[in-house]
Structure 1
Amino acid sequence: MSLSSDLRLILDDPTLSDIKIKGNDGGEINAHRLILVARSEVFKRMLLSDMKEATQDVIEFQEFSSKALQVVVEYLYTGKVTKNFLKPGIVFEALCCADYFLLEMLMFHIISFVRSNMEDKMNILAKILSRILESSCRELANYICELIDLVSLKSIDYHNLSAKALEYILSYQEEEGINMFSLSSGYDLFRYITLWAASEISEEALTFYESYLPSPETVRNLDSNDMQKWDPNIPFTEELHVKYRSEIVTKTSTLLDYVNLEVIHPLVFSNELIRDLIDSNILKDVYRKQALLAGSYFSMLRNAFQWKVKRYRELDNPFVFDSQSPVHEWVRTKFPFSGHDLIEWDIVVEKMCKSFWVGVCSDNGFNVNSNSWLGQHSYGWVLGSNGFICHHKKDKDPFKNKYGRKFNEKSRITVRLDMKERTCSFAIDGTKYPIAFRDLPDEIYPAVSLMSPGVARIEPLFGRT
């Protein structure tokens, strides 16, 4: 038995208990002064000072329920948090309670619980970030920002993000080199920031701008061959725009500094209302940059294929991923592809490992586990060096779908992603094979799944069909 296990046995046990902790719901927790004093500076100050709690047999906390306090007590006794006490319904209160008791590591444990167990994790993380930025816990804030990327940002309800939290997310992404050109980070981000500002003003403002601003799907399709017609001068209620425009511009002025406006389709800026929401000097600069970038579109697009790795890792080359794991892990690019485009890229096997997998993934709405084999998950579609394709394989023998042939070190695997048809196919060293996967999600990332000493290079291909 470990010390942690032994202490768990006396957790909330009235035997030898010499103090009770009471929540605002009337619930009481049996505890031991010695353990509380040894494990918490806050309790130490309460129980070994002239404070009234030092002489009381029951310490009452009007700020928290007994359920939230129980999470703190469990951590103080065992150094862990479990589903026995940490329930989805009290996550935010438990984190506030941990903050009150200055238990930073417990806050990390709670956020990890949210990441692994909560379906609506992005909204909860956003709410937590808005809270903790009131303190000086920047390491914890950065950890949350690692989990909230620019793609998942759009799944967060506006009311869950404070102005400070939204700007912190954007500045963090920029500092980490993540807020760069992508197929979805321009207009999507502009629209989100604008609607967030509208929601801060009133429900009427949000409804108006939400109905008038074109959808991200409409704007993305402006770049496809199957272009949807979009009237850039749709009539709108001028009185409402005049009423809210100035406040919208004020709220978004600093936030739009983090948006790559120049990568937004030029037709978007022919929209009278959209032009009105951007400072005229900024808009002139956007037009100038769009003219300069017109000849280097493919160079910009290439950056969307950089690998996204864990924060503690740095790649010498952002297009080359070398696994350092003795077991399978997987890595994706920083941004997804969507819309109706046809995208192709090569994965070059620079160094082979026991089993090397190439394909695509989608982490939108999933509790992803990057320290695993991608082919076993519902969010992974991959082709292996053994010549089999796999998707969401849970059985003991997943290698039943033979596809193409085996590949080896120095092989070049071409991935062909047709977002209009939502299909994926592969070519191995120039030999093309039929469609491997159908009915893909509307956002897909290039991905590889490998282990040490495997090394994968990604090379985007343009202008090929």
Structure 2
Amino acid sequence: MTRGYSLEQDLRLLINHPRYSDIEILCEDDKKLYGSKAILAARSEVFDRLLYNEMKENLEIQISFPKISLFGMEIVLEYIYTGSIKKESLNKNNIIEAFYAAEYFQLSNLQDFIIKTVKNNLENNYVNNYSPELLSKVMDIMHFNIFCPVLMEKKNPFITPEYEVFRYSAILAANKVSNDAYETLMERLPTLEQIKNSIQVSNKSITDYQKIAKELEPLTKFIDFGQIKGQILTDIIEPLEIVPSRTIMNVYRQIVRLNNLNSNEIRGIPPTIYIWDKSTCGSGLIIEDNEKVVRAGNAHQNVRAKMILDNKGIFEWNIIIEKVCKDVWVGVCATENFNYMAWAGNQSTGWILGINGKCWNNSNVLDYCSQFRNDNVKVTVHLNMNERTYAFSVDGTKYPVISEWNNLPSKLYPIVSLHSPGLLRIQPYQFLKFSKN
């Protein structure tokens, strides 16, 4: 590129260029980079103090930073020279070192940019989530207060199971205490695969468990222990005594509350997953309000929720018709041969109730209840996967089980079908005193 057209591009040519430099920068392990004193001093007060100290002659041709990695220093130089960072410059191998270097040289704007980059990566690329790797480096550098909320944020769910996040964090904490503590935790905390294969867990005592608990404490509050199976909590985690007892007790209380909601002591689905799935949605529908609301375009199409209804259990949820349209349908579907662009009532794997009070499946129609063609009507779906029975409530009035629907498969999903200007909200079931129809 011809020089003189872009200041940023011209300055980028000077980065780590021996010909245009008058100072050698030694990083960790004596790795060398080149810089210009004037540019470094003008852009960083730390460099200014080190390079132009009035108490010494300005004759140095070399300056050393043994605790700053080469990766981190490269990012700092790019930012100092150009005022920006290329997107591809930051990756999981240098992002923590870059943050440490930016903090050392008091480059607050660069710190903010790095934190924003971490957050964007986790939100937009969570399938390839590399949070456990970042956690390792965070624990070494101890930027818990800044990075942990970003790494543990649940806007997009981790692919890594919550137990593995805890296991990884606990082992890292033990490693900071002693080699013996690290080896013991490795034995006491099996992987999920080892648990699945019923591998015998060691009961070796942990002499430094209090020190491990102290190292682990900054991360503990960001781990959702409620997402870990109760048997793993009782048999593996609690005996370690490295998680505060109040944290474990709160999970037990949560489990008891959920179990008491149903007389048959079956635990339902946590309400946090009652959201619409953009990947299983008709192209004419719009998902909004943190994926809790679906809004229709001109086409009559379907959208499925992310929650899966399978195995044994009682599942109940509400659909609020915030804006009614000429056709609104509520129910469940299976994934086999289901078309999200076509009306669910004509499909063999769709079971739905319409605002006209009729139920449809595979083009078969049943008269079920009175019409409900108004805004803000609440339709509650009652699905008992133990008995494969299915019923609805409308504004608190519960209607009978649909006995004709005796062909429900073992795996279902909540679904709605709507037309413009329809607006539907999905939410957890609110327990009501139902009247009998």
Give the structure-2-normalised TM-score: 0.50
Supply the distance in 1 between the matched residues of 2:82 and 2:406 (Cα, whole angstroms). 55
**What's the counterpart of residue 25 of structure 2?**
22
Measured at CA, do residues 161 and 81 of structure 1 come closer, stay the same or move farther in structure 2, by a change above 3 Å? farther
Query: Of the two structures, which has the highest relative contact order with CA contacts closer than 8 Å and spacing of 6 or more?
Result: 1
Supply the distance in 1 between the matched residues of 2:378 and 2:50 (Cα, whole angstroms). 65
**What's the counterpart of residue 106 of structure 2?**
102
Supply the distance in 1 between the matched residues of 2:233 and 2:152 (Cα, whole angstroms). 30
Supply the distance in 2 between the matched residues of 1:428 and 1:5 (Cα, whole angstroms). 66
- Map 1:59-458 onto structure 2 (within 5 A): 59-114=63-118, 115-116=120-121, 119-133=128-142, 138-146=145-153, 152=160, 153-156=162-165, 158=167, 201-203=181-183, 205-210=185-190, 215=195, 241=203, 243-244=204-205, 247-248=208-209, 251-252=212-213, 293=257, 296-297=260-261, 304-306=270-272, 329=288, 331=290, 340-342=311-313, 343-350=315-322, 389=340, 400-404=341-345, 410=376, 456=425, 458=427
**What's the counterpart of residue 460 of structure 1?**
429
Residue 52 (structure 2) pairs with residue 48 (structure 1):
yes
Structure 2's unaligned 5+ residue stretches are 276-285, 293-305, 346-351, 356-373, 417-421, 433-437
What whole-Å deviation, never above 9, does each CA across 1:348-389 have from its counterpart, x for those lacking one? 243689xx9x999xxxxxxxxxxxxxxxxxxxx9xxxxx973
- Percent identity of the aligned residues? 20
Q: For residue 305 of structure 1, report the CA deviation from its aligned partner.
A: 1.8
Greater Cα radius of gyration, structure 1 or 2: 2
Q: For residue 59 of structure 1, report the CA deviation from its aligned partner.
A: 3.9
Instruction: Tell me the amino acid that sits aligned with residue 244 of structure 1.
Output: S
**What's the counterpart of residue 8 of structure 2?**
7
Q: How many residues align?
A: 339
Q: Partner of 2:7: helix, strand, or coil?
A: helix
Supply the distance in 2 between the matched residues of 1:199 and 1:417 (Cα, whole angstroms). 52
Q: For residue 269 of structure 1, report the CA deviation from its aligned partner.
A: 8.9
Structure 1's unaligned 5+ residue stretches are 167-194, 219-233, 310-326, 361-380, 382-386, 390-399, 448-452
Q: Is the 8 A contact 1:158 1:199 kept in 2?
A: no
Q: Is the 8 A contact 1:72 1:98 kept in 2?
A: yes
Supply the distance in 1 between the matched residues of 2:105 and 2:331 (Cα, whole angstroms). 46
Measured at CA, do residues 285 and 198 of structure 1 come closer, stay the same or move farther in structure 2, by a change above 3 Å? farther
What whole-Å deviation, never above 9, does each CA across 1:69-88 have from its counterpart, x for those lacking one? 22112223444322443344
Q: Partner of 1:98: helix, strand, or coil?
A: helix
Q: Is the 8 A contact 1:16 1:32 kept in 2?
A: no
Q: Partner of 2:103: helix, strand, or coil?
A: helix
Instruction: Tell me the amino acid that sits aligned with residue 347 of structure 1.
Output: I
Structure with the bigger percentage of strand: 2
Give the structure-1-normalised TM-score: 0.48
CA RMSD of aligned residues (A): 6.7
Supply the distance in 2 between the matched residues of 1:438 and 1:53 (Cα, whole angstroms). 80
